[in-house]
Amino acid sequence: MSTILFSMNMAFLLSLLGLAFHRTHLMSILVCIEGMMLALYLMLAMFTSTTNTPATAIMPVLLLTMSACEAGTGLALLVATSRTHNTDHMKSLNLLKC
C-alpha cells in the first residue's frame, strides 16, 4: 500500500471519526462530511489515473459536482435552521417541530 493511498484512507477515517464523535453542531457535521467527500474524490482521481480507462475518467468530476451540491444544500439548511431556531445545535432540531 503506497503512502499516498494510506494517507487518503486515513483522511477518510479521521473524517468518519469526527462525524461519529462531534455531532453537536450542524456545521461540524457538514465539515466532516466534506472531508469524507474530499478524501473519496482524491481516491477516485488516483484510481482513474492509475487504471487509464476512459470510462472512469468522468467519475471524479461527477463526485465533485455532487459534493458541491451537497455543500450548498447543507449550508442552506444551516442558514434556515439558524434563522428559525436561533442555534445550530442538533439537540434543538426535531422533525416534529420543523
Per-residue pLDDT of the chain (98 residues; tens, 9 = 90+): 688 888 889 999 999 999 899 888 888 888 898 899 889 888 888 888 788 777 777 888 888 888 888 889 988 988 888 888 888 787 777 655 55
Amino acid at 37: M
Q: Give the global pTM.
A: 0.78
Domain spans in the chain, listed from the N-terminal domain onward? 3-85
At 96 the pLDDT is 55
| Whether domain 3-85 has CATH 3.40.50.150 | no
With beta carbons less than 8 A apart as the criterion, state whether 9 and 38 touch. Answer: no
Residue 67 has a CB neighbour count (10 Å cut-off) of 17
Q: Give the pLDDT score at 10.
A: 92
DSSP state of 22: -
The rounded distance, in Å, linking the Cα atoms of 96 and 82 is: 17
